[in-house]
Homo-oligomer: A and B are copies of this chain.
Amino acid sequence: MGVVQTLLDALGEDVVTTAPDRLEAMRTDRSGWVAEGSPLALVEARTVEEVQEAMRIADAARTPVVPRGAGTGLAGGAVGTEGSIVVSVERMNRILEISAEDEYAVVEPGVITADLNRALEEHGLWYAPDPVSKNISTIGGNIATNAGGLVCTKYGVTREAVLALDVVLPGGTLLRTGRRTIKGVTGYDLTALFVGSEGTLGIVVGATVRALPAPKGETMTLGALFSDVKAAASASAAITAAGLRPSVMELIDAATLNLIRDYLGHEVFENLLGTSAGGSYFLVQFDAGTGALAGTRALQLVEENGGTGTLSHDPAEAEGLLRIRGSANPALTAAGTMLVEDVAVPRSRMPEMFARIEEIARRHDVRIPTIAHAGDGNLHPTFIFDGPDVPPEVWAAADEMFEASTEFGGTLTGEHGVGLLKRRWLKGELGEDSYRLQAEVKAVFDPNGIMNPGKVFD
């Protein structure tokens, strides 16, 4: 208990806790993965200095550190493993500055993403990346995973929205990367290196993020049903190929839509969608600034690919069409134990990827309802099973799915990260040279290997 006592002496009981129920909660995240052992302590830092102190002590003791925000990750990246110190930044949740004239915000890492947007709204601004978890996840966690979301197809992922970071490194050094200007090329882009590094290099304790002028004006929303998910994927690819630039383009397969109907109840579902018939659901939204003909052209492409759709300019109706998509996660959660996957493929390969997922599910006799950020070619096939342990046939099916994503020129994770869940496939995608170089880059920032060991890299 040497390191825990040292932390307690330095930071006090208000910051360092060893209460078993609190540590128990740290052993998991929204991936469902539960660490085998228990962390030694939870450090709930309130200031940059407290994070520095914890990192000095942990590095000197060679004790693993697991950085954590709200614990909403889907890859196990923030799971508090046996013998580690979990350093939570949830309490560091102040918005320090909003500059309307220079279009940025300076935030602490524990700010909930949606809270930032509420604060920006008063200034006519908007932080674009919108992971589905935005109401419960933190900016720090979004940065750690390079989070995506629905509007990334038009506005970019978290990396594009981060201008500068303050990072505490093992040993306690406070490193500042990036700048407040839009452009800047002094030295290497360490900001981009930290975005998506899943807590393996240091702890983000501050961020300067871009705020864009909030899109104003009328949106056009298209909801469509297809009897075949591959046809819906073809319609999506056709909309991309036509250069129509939707701000949202989402696809929900028939299995997921059935679960959503069960979850919402048939009456509510029918009110939202105008029918209780099933099928694959395809949602497209164009925001202000898109040519007026984009919606009509998209509807035409839907129909050419065998779908039936309605195009609406009415905000209430649009809200309803979006609510179907918004109900996917709770509906899937209610259906059983989940393993959410996150493959991405070039957008033209989506129909093939959907076909492959169907084939894999059939052959292994597993349930894989699938939703997709279709505008990015980013699919979330979700394995549903009777928990808590992942059955071997699910791992076997997942193996084949990752192989398929590589075969189609894609990647094993579009936006959730590697964490613990996808380590087994990482070297296969990166190749030996890149894997080795990345491990060496990690060692530059973390020579004693205390940062989130076992995550991302083996």
Contacts and interface: CB of A to CB of B under 8 A. Distances in A.
Interface in A402-418: 409-418
Interface in A217-251: 217, 237, 240-241, 243-245
Identify which of A103, A289, A346 gathers the most chain B CB atoms within 10 Å of its CB.
A346
B185 A146 contact: yes
Given A213-B243, A289-B289, A183 B152 contact: yes
Nearest to A242: B213
| Chain A interface category by residue count | 35 or more
How many chain copies?
Answer: 2
Interface string A419-458: 0001000100111011101101110110000000000100
Nearest to A182: B376
B345 A181 contact: yes
A187 B416 contact: no
A404 B429 CA distance: 46
B414 A184 contact: yes
Interface in A153-179: 153, 156-157, 159-160, 173, 175-177, 179
Identify which of A181, A245, A444 gathers the most chain B CB atoms within 10 Å of its CB.
A181
A102 B238 CA distance: 10
Interface string A342-375: 0011111000000000000000000000000100
A190 interface: yes
A175 B437 contact: yes
A66 B378 CA distance: 39
A18 interface: no
A77 B430 CA distance: 30
A430 B183 contact: no
Interface stretch (A85-93, A111-119, A193-201, A252-260): A193-201
Given A291-B288, A440-B444, A184 B344 contact: yes
A290 interface: yes
Contact of A434 (B157, B176, B245, B412): B176
A279 interface: no
Contacts of A438: 187-188, 190
Contacts of A125: 243
B435 A187 contact: yes
